[in-house]
Amino acid sequence: MEYPGGDESGIVFSGGGVRGMAHIGVIRALREYDLDPQWVSGSSVGALVGALYAADASVDAMLSFFKETPLFRYNFFSISKPGFIDTDRYYKLFESYWPDNSFEKLSRRLYVAATNLNLGQEAYFQSGELIRPLLASAALPPIFSPVAMGEALYADGGIMNNFPLEPIAPHCRYVIGSNVSVIGKVGSREIRSSIQLTNRTTALMIYAINRNKIHSCDLVFEPPELEKIGVLDKKGIERAYQIGYDHGRIVLDRARGNGQP
């Protein structure tokens, strides 16, 4: 399908921890091709990148956000909440990037996916306060504590929906998908420990649940090289970003050669 223009196009950013820096590389490539989707949906790290994109942040500002936001800080450890890190301690850090703290102040329509732990349901936020839904969407258990909103506790959007296509699909004629929870071939030596086995099976389950949605998009970015980057490895930020950009250029060059977008 031919790219219809910003108002009728959308983009979905998956969860995936540090691998989500590849989303930023994809955004850089899209901007170089003058592609500007106006509907945005994201889960976990994809929600954070999506909110920065929706706020018209530069690529440098996006990378700075993730480099400067600590994953672990001793005075952020939780004492009375479930989870090792108190997610609420990040609120002030987020305010410096989203000072208006409002969905309505963003330049693009944004949907943030989170998980309602009490009801066992996915939830989408698209209006009102912005920061607490963002904190909730990225609150990966058991590392980060759930975020209280109203009468419920909310946690990582990827628990229930790692690729939240649903909220923007009705509004878009053309949907771009950026998935960083990639699955590639691995050797038996890479599944030798219990941790490796858990990581592999979890990744397979997440991908299987979202595969059909990912490949229903009109344009898909899925850099296979990302599987070598650890989900919580902050040393992989620049590498993941570069992988996303290089992959984005290749996909867009190929798409343009085929007459789209």
pLDDT tens per residue across span 157-195: 999 999 999 999 999 999 999 999 987 676 777 777 876
pLDDT tens digits, one per residue of 109-140: 999 999 999 999 999 999 999 999 999 999 99
pLDDT value for 192: 78
In the block, which residue shows the tokens 């998908």? 177
DSSP annotation of 214: H
The amino acid that residue 132 corresponds to is R
pLDDT tens digits, one per residue of 20-61: 999 999 999 999 999 999 999 999 999 999 999 999 999 999
Lowest mean pLDDT segment, chosen from 99-108, 198-207, 235-244: 198-207
Lowest mean pLDDT segment, chosen from 96-100, 139-143, 172-176, 227-231: 227-231
Which residues are tagged catalytic?
44, 156
In the block, which residue shows the tokens 């929870």? 181
Residue 75's pLDDT band (cuts 50, 70, 90): low
> What does the domain layout of the chain look like in residue ranges?
9-256
Residue 6's pLDDT band (cuts 50, 70, 90): low
DSSP annotation of 120: T
Q: Which CATH superfamily is domain 9-256 in?
A: Cytosolic phospholipase A2 catalytic domain (3.40.1090.10)
CA angle 228-231-234, nearest 5°? Answer: 95
DSSP annotation of 164: -
Tell me the sheet residues that pair with 147: 154
Q: Which of the pair, 198 or 152, is modelled with greater confidence? A: 152
DSSP annotation of 5: -
Buried b (16+ CB within 10 A) or exposed e, 144-156: bbbbebeebbbbb
Q: What's the whole-number mean pLDDT along residues 223-236?
A: 88
Query: Distance between terminal CA atoms of the chain?
Result: 8
Provide the 10 A C-beta neighbour count for residue 23. 30
Give the Cα separation of 228 and 50 in Å (integer): 23
Residue 96's pLDDT band (cuts 50, 70, 90): very high
Give the Cα separation of 58 and 37 in Å (integer): 15
Residues ≥6 apart with Cβ < 8 Å to 141: 82, 83, 155, 156, 159
Phi and psi at residue 110, to the nearest 5°: -125, 135
Closest CA to 11 of 201, 221, 205: 221
> Burial, 75: exposed, middle or buried (Cβ in 10 Å; 0-12, 13-18, 19+)?
exposed
Residue 81's pLDDT band (cuts 50, 70, 90): confident
pLDDT value for 1: 61
